[in-house]
Amino acid sequence: MAKKHKAPAASFVCQSKEQTQIAIKLLGDTQRELIRIETEVNDEIAAITASRKDQIEALKSRVDSLVTGIQTWCEANRAELCKDGGKTANLITGEVSWRQRPPSVSIRAVDKVLETLKALKLERFIRTKEEPNKEAMLADPKTVQGIAGITINSGVEDFAVVPFEQEVA
Q: What is the pLDDT of residues 34-92, one digit of tens each?
A: 999 999 999 999 999 999 999 999 999 999 999 999 999 999 999 999 998 889 999 99
Please give the Cα distance from 86 to 10 (Å, whole number). Answer: 61
Q: Where are the domains of the chain?
A: 17-51
Largest CA distance in the chain: 82
Per-residue pLDDT reduced to its tens digit, 78-136: 999 999 888 999 999 999 999 989 999 999 999 999 999 999 999 999 999 999 999 99
Question: What average pLDDT does this structure show over 131-149?
Answer: 93
How far, in whole angstroms, is CA 37 from its chain's centroid? 24
Q: How much is the pTM?
A: 0.55
- Determine the pLDDT at residue 120: 97
- Determine the pLDDT at residue 5: 64
Angle at Cα 100 formed by Cα 99 and Cα 104, nearest 5°? 135
